Structure 1
Amino acid sequence: MRAMISADMEGATGVTYPLDVEPRGDEWHRFRKLFTADANAVALGLLEAGIEDVVINEAHASMRNILLEELDDRVRLLTGRHKPLGMMQGIEGADAVVFLGYHAGAGEKGVLSHTYLGNSILGVWLDGEPASEGYLNAALAEEHGVPVIMVTGDDKACEDALRYAPEAEHVAVKEYVSRYTAICLPPATTFRLQREAAGRAATRAGRTEALARPHRIEVEFDAVQLADATANIPTVEQTGDRRVAFDAPTMTDAMKAFKIVSSIAAAAREVFYD
């Protein structure tokens, strides 16, 4: 059995503030270690429970945050940007996926809550339902017949996971107070909790029937020019001053299109008016 860990950083142990996850200073280096420890904890739990192959897809920002040299030597790390499926690269060959360090979606309560862009996206909807990154990625996993067996992050991320992976193990490593504040558990505690939960989650591994179907994604931005810019993409329709929508024949195609939409939106911001 092969398990993939899709590892984001905002929901990692101790993280509460943008500088904790942005590669520009001492705080980032500190939290890289805690992020890596979280990944190790989950990987160890899976391996101890009989999963033969664990691949960690580094899924945060530059996708070069986890410290390879501190990982268990049985684990493989998929690191670097511009992966075709981004956070979910490698899902095709997996028998299970863990969402590690996830967070609530844009416009929702949660530590560092957002969906792909830190502030420019106010909300995302998949087939009419509010969609966090976890919600979107779970739909992609379902299309490939891969169960989401475990989700870690703050308590709001775990609440969100009840919508898309109610049978999975949910581990809250911190408790939301505000977008930049949390009550955090110590690393030794979160390591144990995640390792134990991963061991339980491993029993849920096993591919299910793949389910490919059409989807519609809607995105609301915080500025008019972002909708104007992304509406230039073929198949993307501007449905309001700050809102666009598009249809796709599969979730894989939908996520590739969403990646383009978010990239164009990011490029349409200016320094002093972003």
Structure 2
Amino acid sequence: MISADMEGATGVTWTDDVVPGTEPWQRFRRLFTGDVNAVIAGLCAGGAGDVLVNEAHSAQRNLLLEELDPRARMLTGRHKPLSMMQGIDSGVAGVVFLGYHTGAGCDGVLSHTYLPNQITGVWLDGAPASEGSLNAALAAEYGVPVLLVSGDDLTCAQAREYAPGAELVAVKECVSRYAAICTPPARTAAQLTGAAEAAMARAGRCEPVIGPHRIEVEFDASHLAQAAAIVPTVEHTGVRRVAFDAADMTAAMKAFKVVTAIADSAVQGKYG
């Protein structure tokens, strides 16, 4: 399975690069599709008999199906119960985090966690968390190893902590939130294919890691925490912070999705 996000794709550095409908987005969705195809080629070369690509960015309708490697299948569209990780419960033998980015409050190209800029920090069981570490914990619950992580160099550095056995491919070097030294797609494609083929050596079910979890979320404004705290299981733990406990990571991620959706609906124009 490939969980395909866009901010960490080859060449992406700017808001319009990943906002559906813009002219730059039309260009970069092709580069994004190219990254996905490069990984599919590597996974298949390494022995994968089937590859499920889960569109994981924004409205989750960015990849070009007509240009997708025909050996893969694509899950596209929004409102999937497990969001970025839909399909992790279908018996897959490994997952690739493609085009990922660093978490909210961290340096990195287009860094954020779920919401573009309203969240300033997320913690999983007391440790700073990113989309990558949250999704890795969810994969572990289903006994699925993280095989490969791609994104900028800082994303790869974070991945060494939550997926220490994974192959890492830095397709760009972060200069700032909106600038990077980018490697051309001809080179990143070769790197992604090689890493994906090598990563297949680690494919195979693992012992599931199941247990309770606590997620804390800090927002950039007090009213967003107030809005999120209307969920019965969510505690208002600070002026801009909420927290909740869940029996397992699946429940935790579903609750996190609700919290972020409610907070996002409370944003009012430029004043947030």
Query: Same fold per TM (> 0.5)?
Result: yes
Out of 23, 33, 49, the residue aligned to residue 26 of structure 1 is 23
Unaligned runs of 5+ in 2: none
- The aligned counterpart of 2:233 is 235
Out of 81, 84, 87, the residue aligned to residue 87 of structure 1 is 84
Aligned residue runs from structure 1 range 156-235, under 5 A: 156-235=154-233
Q: CA deviation at 1:272?
A: 3.0
Q: CA deviation at 1:212?
A: 1.0
1:16 is aligned with what amino acid?
Answer: T
| Distance in 2 between residues matched to 1:266 and 1:41, nearest whole Å | 34
- The aligned counterpart of 1:68 is 65
Q: SS at 1:234's partner residue? A: coil
* CA deviation vs aligned residue, 1:208-260 (integer Å, no higher than 9, x gap): 01111000000000000000000000110000000000000000000000000
Q: CA deviation at 1:25?
A: 1.5
Out of 48, 53, 62, the residue aligned to residue 56 of structure 1 is 53
Q: CA deviation at 1:24?
A: 2.2
- The aligned counterpart of 1:271 is 269
- The aligned counterpart of 1:151 is 149
How many pairs are equivalent? 271
- The aligned counterpart of 1:37 is 34
1:15 pairs with 2:12: yes
- The aligned counterpart of 1:77 is 74
1:115 is aligned with what amino acid?
Answer: T
| Distance in 2 between residues matched to 1:243 and 1:43, nearest whole Å | 40
Q: SS at 1:182's partner residue? A: strand
1:255 pairs with 2:253: yes
Q: CA deviation at 1:72?
A: 1.1
Unaligned runs of 5+ in 1: none
* CA deviation vs aligned residue, 1:169-196 (integer Å, no higher than 9, x gap): 0000000000000000000000000001
- Considering only aligned residues, what root-mean-square deviation do their CA atoms show, in Å? 0.5
| Distance in 2 between residues matched to 1:271 and 1:220, nearest whole Å | 20
| Distance in 2 between residues matched to 1:111 and 1:213, nearest whole Å | 32
* CA deviation vs aligned residue, 1:131-182 (integer Å, no higher than 9, x gap): 0000000000000000001000000000010011111100000000000000
- The aligned counterpart of 2:115 is 117
Q: SS at 2:122's partner residue? A: strand
Structure 1 runs (4+) deviating above 6 angstroms are none
2:68 is aligned with what amino acid?
Answer: L
